[in-house]
Amino acid sequence: MVTTSTLLGVAVDGLAFGVFLALLGVGITLVFGLGEVLNLAIGTFAVLAVLVATIVVNSGMSLTVAAIVALVAVAGFGLLVDRTILSLVYRSDGEERILLGIFTTLGLTVFLDGVLINYFPSRYTLPLDIGTVSVGGASLTGSSLVIVAVGTIVLAILFGFLRGTFLGKATRTVFQDERGARLVGVNPRRIRTLIFVLSAAVAGLGGLVFAAGSAVAVSNGFQFTTFALIISIVGGVRSLVGAITAGVLLGLVNQFANFFVGSYIATIILFATAIVVLLVRPEAIS
């Protein structure tokens, strides 16, 4: 018989997985909403953060320092990608930009996966080693609680940045009306660079969050990108609130499905949800 305490534990783990999904969804939604570039390298950014953090931890540094170094490294790599590859993509418009962005970032993913797998052939994890926490008789995974707390704080800071700072308001202006943004002196290209770097860091944090509870391999990059696409589709490709809501809800659904029917069926449920949303609400991808 399944007890209430067991279900509570599953729910907390589901929230943790939902935070991971939400971070990936936010990362891909930010870039597409601002510049109509579907970044299919988002999962590789997440994996790259885990690999950098692993190197730093193995060198004797603390996990906190490793996480900071990893996020800075991924953000720096995101800046490099934006100023080189994406500069070509942003010269096009409309459907041409979308298609060029897909092929360019997909090509980058294939290239990086091919290179990284030669140097990082194993699976890597960054365990928090917190153990379990007893709450009302229920044993909750300590790492899941930390992940939920950290993810909530980061997402709150992100929304605070977008709503309460000059750069954040400029970003929202470009989001809503690029031509109007130019008229008031906002440079859309610089804002896109800022947001792409920010999205890379957010994706990197998502990778670190996932690695706190599960092992990560280079090949997981494609899986992470698929998750990001599902969340973006379900939540609406231009809605940050939708991406977060979809991430949390699907994280819970996935964890409970995994608990009751197994991981294989749980994955099918995620894809089925995206398909149903597209059938019922096709404007989600517009």
- CATH number for domain 4-280, candidates 1.10.1740, 1.10.1660, 1.10.3470, 1.10.1060: 1.10.3470
Give pLDDT, residue 213: 83
Residues 6 or more apart whose Cβ sits within 8 Å of residue 142: 128, 130, 131, 132, 133
What is the average pLDDT across 180-188? Answer: 79
Rounded Cα–Cα distance for residues 256 and 126 (Å): 24
Q: Encode pLDDT of 194-246 as tens digits.
A: 999 999 999 999 999 999 888 999 999 999 999 998 888 888 877 888 899 98
Least confident range of 65-69, 151-155, 256-260: 256-260
The pLDDT, as a whole number, for residue 285 is 53
Let me know: does 184 contact 173? Beta carbons within 8 Å.
yes
pLDDT per residue as tens digits for the range 195-205: 999 999 999 99
pLDDT higher than 80, residue 2: no
**In this structure, which amino acid lies at residue 2?**
V
- Please give the structure tokens belonging to residue 111: 């290239």
Is a pLDDT exceeding 60 seen at residue 286? no
Which residues, in sequence order, are bridge partners of residue 58? none
This prediction has a pTM of 0.90
Instruction: Let me know the angle formed at the C-alpha of 87 by 81 and 89, rounded to the nearest 5 degrees.
Output: 100
Q: Is the pLDDT of residue 64 over 70?
A: yes
Give yes or no for a contact between 124 and 50, defined as CB atoms under 8 angstroms apart.
yes
Q: How far is it, in rounded angstroms, from Cα 80 to Cα 86? A: 9
pLDDT tens-digit series, residues 12-27: 889 999 999 999 999 9
Instruction: Name the CA dihedral angle for 73, 79, 81, 87, rounded to a multiple of 10 degrees.
Output: 180
Flag whether pLDDT at 134 surpasses 90. Answer: no
Query: For the chain, what is the mean pLDDT?
Result: 87
- Say what percent of the chain tops pLDDT 70: 96
Segment (H or E) for 134: strand 132-135
Quick check: 115 pLDDT over 90?
yes
Query: Would you call 278 exposed, middle or buried from its count of C-beta atoms within 10 A (0-12, 13-18, 19+)?
Result: middle
